[in-house]
Structure 1
Amino acid sequence: MDAIRNLSYVAPGKYETTRFEKIHNEIFINSVDASKAVAQEIATLIKLKQAENKKCILGLATGSSPIRVYDELVRLHKEEGLSFSNVITFNLDEYYPMKKENKQSYHYFMHAHLFNHIDIKPENVNVPNGAVAIEELHQYCADYESKIKNAGGLDFQLLGIGRTGHVGFNEPGSHINSGTRLITLDHITKVDASSDFNGINNVPTRAITMGVSTILRSKRVVLLAWGQNKADVIERTIQGEISPEIPATFLQNHDNTTFVLDQSAASELTRLKTPWLVEECVWTPALKSKAIVWLCQKTNQSILKLTDRDYNNNGMSDLLAQEGSAYDLNINMFNQLQHTITGWPGGKPDTDDSNRPERANPSKKRVILFSPHPDDDVISMGGTFSKLIKQGHDVHVVYQTSGNIAVTDDEALKFAEVCNDLIGEDRTKIDFKEVIHFLNNKKEDEMDSVEVRKLKGLIRRRESYAATRYIGLNDTNIHFLDLPFYETGQIKKNPLAAVDITIVMDIIEKIRPHQVFAAGDLADPHGTHEVCLNAIFAAMATLKSKSFMDDCWLWLYRGAWHEWAIDEIDMAVPLSPDEVLLKRHAILFHQSQKDRVMFQGNDSREFWVRAEERNKSTAKSYDNLGLAEYEAIEAFKRFDY
């Protein structure tokens, strides 16, 4: 979780790329600061054009990446008087077929996030029309190109990037000379969009998109990318060869392009991943650990077998000179990793804890296990969860959200029909006949009713009780916060608010924990993990002056999408074959999330399979480095809040 330096946002020409990089890029600590910088550039351009009495022609993108840019532009308009009266906009793309009123349409998206909140003239807003008749579409696309040209061309084009390397909806195979047209969506693109449409079968198969040539004619291009999911495609785009298989690489031919990245999206770039191959390094302990683990993996050797030659031949001669010998480097690293391994995640009583990841005292700890959704606890740390209970700690699991949005309509309908059959004509707090009628007649873009959301939340809740009882936890130690930010009835959530933070503070102050476990995996498709983690950070920062917080340690686990790198792990908890099986069975109690995972991201495996294979892979990595061989390992990183 170490933050990198927040680079100033500068124009191309003031930046020297490494020998690996072919596109100018700026890396920010987080997407919030990055988005504000981009919004400020757009605002400056608008004002410059106003001073020249000219129109400002903006090309705009949709998706999650530009949302904070639009939020900042709205703020600049409302609080600092930024006017959009001279702005003409052209959006990149739209699903086809798609009505403007549909909540999944990009027309709806742009008005909800930007146009409805600023003073832009309606006639100056251009979003491709997804309802044009198919026989008229060719001419419509030609006219869209002409309209951009007649407006004077795009002064500024804002882009996101898909995992296929698409910009707009220019999927792999798109030609550099392509213009605005109808295109068939790649399967991966449909998978990524599936959660917005409640399943891949509901995602349109086609879309209207500006072409590659249209984008390249823009006077200025800024591409945004956030998160680990974009790291691979960003590396291939910035450092790879130009190829229609990754259409974003065509931007290497544009002389005024900047990629604006957060540190996760930039993490696979050579200057961040292996900086010793680029320039001389300041060898901090963290960088030293990262380099030695990388060297083991590259040479396919365990730590204690690395030689001076291995270090010298792989860009680490200065580290070797600094430390004196491979032997010293190797033994120190071996000991460091050895000390992360413990079968006592709450600390081992009556032992020397100087080389252990957790304190021996108090021998019985109060523990809060925060779970963003009602299954992240067992998916991410089911084995550790079980050990903490068995070793006598006072463990409390706290589910931060109801998770109702991740229950399919079919699953809810099944439960509603069973309940209705059981109660007959008697009515309870939920009118099941009304729920059944709603679900059977639900429109494609209709928001769930309060009754349906309540039922879906109860499904997740009862699954959680079943799973934690199986682990061995008493029902009195299970807490459901139902944080308000989540309860919108739709995929898009509200921003984190003071009331959410207060609720988290209250549970922490009530339990007064010695250990807090929280989800540090920010790669979930809709950002719930990030919001939940920020609520915990804010709550703990506010409570820091309380005396009980002096003894409270925060451990971050990772969820269903990524694991900590070996060099980042501060506590590695080995699992026996029986504990792996126990964890699997606990996950399987979450039946509503089995078989048809609604928000699985870029991984088609079920959650129990992902978790099990990831834990076994971590154990194998430790084994390959020359440490003890285990069936599986759950990993944690300590965070100093």
Structure 2
Amino acid sequence: MPRLNLLEETRFEKLPVIVYPDMLSASKNVAKRIADIIKQKAAEGKQAILGLATGATPVTVYNELVRLHKEEGLSFKNVVSFNLDEYFPMAPTAAQSYKVFMYKHLFSHVDIDPENVHIPDGALKQDDVAAFCVAYEQKITAYGGLDLQVLGIGRTGHIGFNEPGSAPNSGTRLVSLDELTRSDAAHDFGGKAGVPVKAITMGIGTIFKAREIILMAWSAKKAEIIKKAVEGEVSADIPATYLQHSDHVEFVLDTGAASALTRFDTPWLVKDCVWDEQLIKKAVIWLAKTLNKPILKLTEDDYNNHGMAQLATEKGPVYNINIHIFNKLQHTITGWPGGKPNADDSQRPERALPAKKRAIVFSPHPDDDVISMGGTFIRLADQGHDVHVAYQTSGNTAVWDDDALRFVEFAIDLSKSQGIDAQSLENLYNKMRGFIETKQPNQTDLAGLENIKGLIRKGEAIAGARFVGLDDAHIHFQNLPFYDKRKVSKEVSYEDDIQQTMQLLQQVQPQQVYAAGDFADPHGTHKTCFDILHESLKRLAKTEEWVKDCWLWLYRGAWHEFETYEIEMCVPLSPEEVERKRLAIFKHQSQKDRPVFPGDDAREFWVRAEDRTSETAQIYNQLGLAEYEAMEAFVRFKF
């Protein structure tokens, strides 16, 4: 594959990158390229030797290859495959096994000869692994090497399971997994404790011998590591940077994964721009942050020396630009998230009328409401708006087994103390204990155990909403069915979820809807819950007049805030309101201290939430605006 002719726009990129509008179009392109290799080799009477990857990234590629096989006659009879890696130890029949993964998503649906399928054996004795790895390398060499190696990329920058510190000439071997890699895999294993600490992986040297290498990445979740891999210095700390030395590599990305690359993130540094309002706002805020200066102190030299001379020339003088952007930011700040009654709302983020609005906060998990927008939630209730909250899923997977047992033990003791027959509870308790003692990683809970965990989260959510100031009639625990269905199959219908959400919206008929806007993980619960809500509103908009007056505000979770230039409403919190928000979060006792799925951030949820909102306040202050204790940010979504 020839190297990309680097234009000025891509001058920061050290290897070829092609960007597609979305994951599906990118995946279809990669699948076509794989199919072309298979067909070309077949026409030559040769075998196509493919290096294949696992994980969420290649699934849509494999889906398209299956379609090509079933609908267009693509044959895999001449294909020999070598998989990149496998957890160790790992039984080949385990749900988390990459052998199970490959047969589920590809091999069981095409006509490949099972004898031509090669996957590292995670069931070996450790003493036998070294010899297996040598044999794996020799087998690849005996077939003449890989025609194509397909890769994903982990957030540590690993390719295969070549973690930071891997050597560029490394071969197939047993490796230790990075803690971040294990955290990212936690959901597949029912928690991080169940994730193996080792894996067998092809080495970077093995990958480099492939005649063609395609690395794929989807969604903004991968944007940061993609930028480092594409634009950063070659370093053992980020193994994917070694690919900069290959003449046969290409990165295939969707717009989310590419979003942090210079040509998309700060395009004024590499080309002339069409300066619309949003880009001007982004550039001026970036310049102020880069120079650590208030917006109103930025000078013409600052613009000229940082790639923004075109903006200064076309839209200047720069002080006028500064004043305009400063005012735009100032107008995002409001202590009246439901709108300020009897006030001029022409420069405010929300409408003044109606003075008392019907609002509903949609919370994907039972604690997202108070963690992500607890201060605004409290403010809406205090200011007399008709506020509802809808907890979209049960959140039952995020409760520890021993917490569930403890609650049933309490119920048994309570029954006995009140002279109530507790035998049925004791039977349930014994079933739960027996199941938990033999429970496998990520195994679906017994229905009774699942229900107890859901009730724990429900009770905590109700306590939190009552603390905010809602009565029980305004608290809705939806328990959308997709959440439990997806534990059994990734292919589920969301129609029941949509219908249930439409009914609730029709019941409330809100003027304001608040929803989680964390879309980095396209398969995550937050994104799924938003898609259900969005589809519900779109359908209702066709027949319901009230939807025309309904505004949808997005909030972010505990980890990351919206970029400053994106924020359209920012609600300042006093120290007392920060304290009240913290106490509301504390009602979710099962999520305090050490949650089941903590991610890669060791801070408790309430600490993450407070740090995030105080950082937003600090940024506004740094840009020259008023200094507040904390600020919660929102973006309006126009549907």
| Structure 2 residue identity aligned to 1:199 | G
C-alpha distance in 2 between matches for 1:585 and 1:29: 43
Taking the aligned partners of 2:601 and 2:250, their CA distance within structure 1 comes to 29
| Aligned residue number for residue 152 of structure 1 | 144
The answer to whether the 8 A contact 1:374-1:460 is kept is yes
| CA–CA distance in structure 1, aligned partners of residues 512 and 33 of structure 2 | 43
Matches within 5 A, 1:31-50: 31-50=23-42
Cα deviation, residue 568, structure 1: 0.3
CA distance in 1, matches of 2:288, 2:427: 58
1:4 alignment partner in structure 2? none
Which whole-Å CA distance do the structure 2 matches of 1:79 and 1:34 have between them?
20
> Matches of 1:525 and 1:612 in 2, distance apart?
26
Choose the corresponding residue for 1:626, options 624, 627, 630: 624
CA contact (8 A) 2:188 2:442 kept: no
Greater shift, 87-96 or 627-636, is seen at 87-96
Kindly provide the amino acid, as one letter, of the partner of residue 498 in structure 1.
Answer: E
Question: Match for 1:636 among 617, 626, 634?
Answer: 634
Is residue 308 of structure 1 aligned with residue 300 of structure 2? yes
8 Å Cα contact 1:166-1:247 kept in structure 2: yes
For the 8 Å contact 1:90–1:126, the answer to whether it is kept is yes
Displacement of 1:34 in angstroms is: 2.6
Name the structure 1 match of 2:419.
none
**Which residue is equivalent to 1:439?**
436
**Would the aligned equivalents of 1:405 and 1:491 in 2 still touch at CA under 8 Å?**
no
Tell me which moved more, 235-244 or 520-529.
520-529
Which stretch of structure 1 is more off in the superposition, 226-235 or 398-407? Answer: 226-235
- Alignment check: 8 A CA contact 1:524 1:601 kept: no
Flag the 1:44–1:228 CA change in 2: closer, same or farther, 3 A: same
Q: CA deviation at 1:50?
A: 3.3
Match of 1:185 among 161, 177, 180: 177
In the TM superposition, residue 540 of structure 1 has moved relative to its aligned partner by 1.9
Unaligned stretches of 5+ residues in structure 2: 417-421
How far apart are the structure 2 equivalents of 1:573 and 1:30?
A: 33
Q: Let me know the Cα RMSD of the aligned residues.
A: 2.2
1:589/1:82 CA distance change after superposition, 3 Å: farther
Amino acid paired to 1:595:
D
SS at match of 1:369: strand
User: Residue 222 of structure 2 is aligned with which of 219, 227, 230?
Assistant: 230
Deviations 1:93-136 (A, max 9, x none): 11111111222222222222222333322222211001112222
- CA deviation string 1:566-616 (max 9, x = no partner): 100000011111111111111111111122222232322111111110000
Please name the residue that 1:465 is paired with. Answer: 462
- Cα distance in 2, alignment partners of residues 395 and 205 from structure 1: 46
Aligned mate of 1:263, from 252, 255, 258? 255
Which of 443, 448, 451 is the matching residue for 1:451?
A: 448
Partner of 2:375: helix, strand, or coil?
helix
The partner residue of 1:274 within 253, 266, 279 is 266
1:183 aligned counterpart, secondary structure: strand
Q: 1:605 aligns with which of 599, 603, 606?
A: 603
1:430 is displaced (CA, Å) by 9.0
Aligned length: 632
Q: Distance in 2 between matches of 1:421 and 1:468?
A: 28
Match of 1:204 in 2: 196
Q: Name the residue aligned to 2:536.
A: 539
In the alignment, is the contact (CA less than 8 A) between 1:486 and 1:493 conserved in 2? no
Q: 2:514 aligns with which of 490, 497, 517?
A: 517
Name the stretch that deviates more: 375-384 or 98-107.
Answer: 98-107
Q: Classify 1:132/1:525 alpha carbon distance in 2 versus 1 (closer, same or farther; 3 Å).
A: farther
Give structure 1 stretches of 5+ with no counterpart: 1-9
Q: Secondary structure at the match of 2:185?
A: helix
1:505 to 502, 514, 525: 502
Q: In the aligned structure 2, how far is the partner of 1:627 from the partner of 1:131?
A: 60
**Partner in structure 1 of residue 327 of structure 2:** 335
- Using a 3 Å threshold, how does the CA distance of structure 1 residues 32 and 459 change in structure 2: closer, same or farther? farther
Distance 1:227 1:21, change over 3 A: same
Instruction: Report whether the alignment pairs 1:119 with 2:116.
Output: no
Instruction: Check whether the contact 2:46–2:78 (CA below 8 A) recurs between aligned residues.
Output: yes
On the 8 A contact 2:187/2:442 being kept in 1, the answer is no
Q: Secondary structure at the match of 2:531?
A: helix
Inter-CA distance 495–520: structure 2 relative to 1 (3 Å threshold): farther
Q: Is the 8 A contact 2:20 2:253 kept in 1?
A: yes
Say if 1:430 and 1:455, in contact at 8 Å, map to a contact too: no
1:290 deviates by 0.5
The 3 A distance-change label for structure 1 pair 393 and 29 is farther
Q: State the distance in 1 between where 2:27 and 2:514 align.
A: 30
Distance, in Å, in 2 between the alignment partners of 1:612 and 1:146 is: 54
TM (norm. structure 1) is: 0.94
* Mean Cα deviation higher: 195-204 or 308-317: 195-204
TM-score, length-scaled by structure 2: 0.94
Within-5 A mapping of 1:42-121: 42-121=34-113
